[in-house]
């Protein structure tokens, strides 16, 4: 969830809410946990060490112009945390190793997990139409809720346009004026419906935050509870994720946390975006977390602790995304992505971008091994993700 990839307004806003969610994939061979890793954090673990992680994070800060970054490497139950840069421009305040940050579109994985739990309970079907749950809500400019299914919302194959193209907060000139604007889910959906449908449902792929706002609305209709309450009760509380919550009305971040900075155009200034309403993110991207909590979530999900086998199979059945701007191909499941590794195989994950925050994550070996990277600066450069994605690839290939 976040703006800025190129100067073009439509491209810049597409990046919002994490349209370029971080990737995911793959089935790698199980490897025994190295006892040396836990005993000697500096020792190399299957070819990738704390020093390697530190160098990768330092490169992101120095070469990309990021103010601060943090990373967590997971090898089974063992965690290795490193930081780079500072928590605030113009100061020496250290970057917190487990600081709070806005996870952006990784929220979608939490919401998709809840929806698949409801499917397992017989409360919702993946082939239910949007109109079955939300009569008349999607009916404009060729966008027809009678023809769009819950599965298509979760997999971004609905053909729905993205509402973030119309959000003033994602434009530099309007950011300060609109940073605390509030929206209802229906208002966000109506923004999207100003545009014509992108393709016939099920006949293409395009990342749509609008789809996940609708998923959140369906969760509420099916359960009688706000989507965030269901995420809390079904995922956050059972896993003991004590540092993960919906932003709701909160416009700042708890301590410890770093200041957040947004660059709206290449070469433009870094604008402090720490204080902002995430009402426009909703069930598409408003959750706050820490890298340790996010790691625990992915390990539990991929380890089969949140979904049964039938729902796991649905979540990880993928379709190609055919994204022309991605050098490394990826495939989309239901709330997850599968991205190839340079060493073969791939990793599962779903990153997120929002105003001032960008996180990338990837896990292999049924979640036992993985890495989470968070940057407190969201850049507008065309190659803003390159070094971050390379760090994930280096770490995951190194641990195989």
- Per-residue pLDDT at 326 exceeds 50: yes
Is residue 33 predicted with pLDDT exceeding 90?
no
| CA 190 to the chain's CA centroid | 23
pLDDT tier at 46 (50, 70, 90 boundaries)?
A: low
Q: Do 111 and 215 touch, CB atoms closer than 8 A?
A: yes
Q: How confident is the model at residue 49 (pLDDT cuts 50, 70, 90)?
A: very high
Identify which of 110, 201, 95, 115 has the alpha carbon closest to the alpha carbon of residue 156. Answer: 201
Write down the residue that tokens 């400019």 correspond to.
Answer: 141
| Spatial separation of the C-alpha atoms in residues 112 and 154, rounded to whole Å | 7
Contact 353, 31 (CB under 8 A): no
Sorted by sequence, the CB contacts under 8 Å of residue 359 that are 6+ apart come out as 22, 101, 103, 104, 106, 291, 294, 351, 352, 353, 372, 373, 374, 375
Q: Predicted confidence band at 107 (pLDDT cuts at 50, 70, 90)?
A: very high
Q: Is the peptide bond before 223 cis (omega within 30 degrees of 0)?
A: no
Q: Return the exposure string of 75-104: e unless at least 16 CB atoms fall within 10 Å of the residue's CB, then b.
A: bbebbbbbbbbbbbeeeeeebbbbbbbbbb
The pLDDT assigned to 385 comes to 84
Backbone angle region of 202, left / alpha / beta, with phi > 0 → left and psi within -120 to 50 → alpha: left
Element (H, E) at 271: strand 270-272
Burial class (CB in 10 A: 0-12, 13-18, 19+), 1: buried
Task: Report the SS3 class of residue 354.
Answer: strand
Lowest mean pLDDT among 17-21, 243-247, 259-263, 389-393: 17-21
Dmax over Cα atoms in the chain, in whole Å?
60
The reported pTM is: 0.89
Domain ranges of the chain: 9-398
Residue 242 has a CB neighbour count (10 Å cut-off) of 11
Core vs surface per residue 142-170: b (16+ CB within 10 A) or e: ebbbebbbbbbbbbbbbbbbbbbbebebb
Question: Residue 28 above 70 pLDDT?
Answer: no
What is the mean predicted confidence (pLDDT) over 251-266? 96
Give 345's contacts (C-beta < 8 A, 6+ positions apart): 25, 26, 27, 28, 364, 400
What would the CATH number be for the domain defined by 9-398? 3.40.710.10
**pLDDT number for residue 323:** 81
* Residue 1 confidence class, pLDDT cut points 50, 70, 90: low
Indicate the DSSP class of residue 257. B
Q: Tell me what pLDDT residue 324 has.
A: 74
- Which residues on neighbouring strands pair with residue 129, listed in sequence order? 149
Kindly report, residue by residue over 183-220, the tens digit of the pLDDT.
Answer: 999 999 999 999 999 999 999 999 999 999 999 999 99
Could you read off the pLDDT of 150-196 as tens digits, one per residue?
999 999 999 999 999 899 999 999 999 999 999 999 999 999 999 99
**Whether the Cβ atoms of residue 272 and residue 258 lie closer than 8 Å to each other:** no
Is the CB of residue 356 less than 8 Å from the CB of residue 379?
no
Report the residue count for the chain.
400
Number of H helices, E strands in the chain: 15, 17
| The CA-based dihedral angle spanning residues 11, 15, 335, 239, taken in that order and rounded to the nearest 10 degrees | -170
CB 42 within 8 A of CB 302: no
DSSP, res 298 = H
């Amino acid at each position: 969830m976040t703006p800025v990839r190129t100067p073009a307004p439509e491209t810049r806003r597409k990046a919002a809410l994490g349209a370029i969610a971080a990737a995911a994939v793959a089935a790698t061979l199980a490897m025994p946990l190295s006892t040396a890793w836990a005993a000697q954090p500096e020792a190399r673990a299957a070819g990738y060490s704390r020093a390697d992680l530190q160098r990768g994070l330092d490169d992101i800060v120095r070469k990309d112009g990021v103010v601060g970054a943090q990373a967590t490497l997971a090898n089974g139950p063992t965690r290795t945390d490193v930081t780079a840069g500072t928590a605030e421009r113009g100061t020496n305040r250290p970057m917190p190793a487990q600081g709070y940050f806005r996870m952006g579109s990784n929220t979608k994985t939490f919401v998709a997990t809840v929806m698949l739990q409801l499917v397992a309970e017989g409360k919702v079907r993946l082939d239910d139409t949007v109109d079955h749950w939300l009569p008349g809500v999607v009916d404009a400019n060729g966008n027809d809720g009678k023809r769009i299914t819950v599965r298509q919302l979760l997999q971004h194959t609905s053909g729905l346009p993205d509402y973030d193209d119309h959000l003033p907060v994602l434009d530099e000139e309007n950011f300060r004026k609109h940073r605390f604007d509030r929206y209802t889910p229906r208002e966000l959906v109506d923004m999207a419906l100003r545009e014509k449908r992108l393709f016939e449902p099920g006949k293409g792929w395009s990342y749509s935050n609008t789809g996940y706002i609708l998923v959140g609305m369906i969760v509420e209709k099916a359960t009688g509870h706000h989507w965030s309450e269901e995420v809390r009760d079904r995922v956050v509380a059972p896993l003991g994720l004590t540092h993960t919550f919906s932003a709701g009305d909160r416009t700042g971040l708890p301590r410890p946390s770093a200041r957040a900075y947004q660059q709206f155009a290449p070469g433009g200034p870094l604008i402090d975006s720490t204080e902002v309403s995430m009402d426009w993110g909703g069930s598409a991207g408003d959750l706050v977390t820490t890298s340790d909590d996010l790691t625990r979530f992915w390990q539990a999900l991929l380890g089969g602790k949140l979904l049964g086998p039938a729902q796991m199979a649905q979540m990880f059945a993928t379709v190609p995304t055919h994204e022309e701007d991605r050098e490394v191909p990826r495939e989309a499941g239901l709330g997850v992505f599968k991205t190839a590794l340079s060493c073969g195989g791939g990793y599962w994950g779903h990153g997120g971008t929002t105003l001032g925050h960008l996180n990338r994550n990837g896990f292999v070996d049924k979640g036992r091994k993985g890495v989470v990277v968070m940057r407190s600066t969201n850049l507008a450069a065309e190659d803003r993700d390159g070094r971050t994605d390379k760090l994930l690839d280096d770490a995951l290939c190194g641990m195989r």
